[in-house]
Structure 1
Amino acid sequence: MLAKANRKELRLAAKLYKEQIAKEKRVAREEAKVVQEEAKAKKAAERAATIEAQNTKKAAQTSQLGKRRASRPPPSAPKLQKRHRVSRGVAALPEAAQAALPKVNSRGRTINVPHKFR
């Protein structure tokens, strides 16, 4: 009889102990959740602030552009200088024909020179 009562007391004590540990774990989880939510809110606020700063920077840049780019004339490229060419009358002279020897590379083969360089 005494052992039965002792077992009942032990069972009750174990139950109370389990409930106490469960309660402590629950409180710890809730505190951790609050800390996480605060950190998350802080991070979101920082992100929103950086995005807002970027947007204001972009707005300042676009207002500084002034006129539309399409209304301005496109930038003109520098004109290329024309190459000096030999006139046909000069090339037909016999002295010029004798002076033009065939171009030869280091191995002795003749090189076909383009007309604009003749």
Structure 2
Amino acid sequence: MLTSEDVEFLRHPLHGFLTVADGPVRPVWFEATGEGTIQLFTPRDSPKVRRLDGDPRASIIVAAPVGERERWVSVAGRVSVEPDGAHELAARLGARYWDLDDPAHAGELAEIQELDLLRLVIHPEKVSRYSM
């Protein structure tokens, strides 16, 4: 359901805005996979995980930054909570979103890596998009 143009856009280091049932909108790091899913990581004890236990649906919207032509992609679907791959994903996303030569960012990523992380995978059921 994600087009190749969507995936190319989603490979930019942009923040996604995630919503889960009865939860607030949260900015998140994310990765679009070659299989057409969206994945992110979160601590095992996060409210997101508790909410997804009750209702395994989520949506994420990603918009182009200021200075670029208006464009956005929205993905909604069921979420699988995966026990594996979260630390590797956090390492990839840390390098994507931060300059890890900066000791402060490298230290923050090291702290994230010490957490008990899960990988959340959104399996698209509905994709909406807009591009000027």
Point out the structure with the larger helix share. Answer: 1
Give the structure, 1 or 2, with the largest relative contact order (CA under 8 Å, sep 6 or more).
Answer: 2
Q: What TM-score, normalized to structure 2?
A: 0.15
Point out the structure with the larger strand share. Answer: 2
Q: What TM-score, normalized to structure 1?
A: 0.16
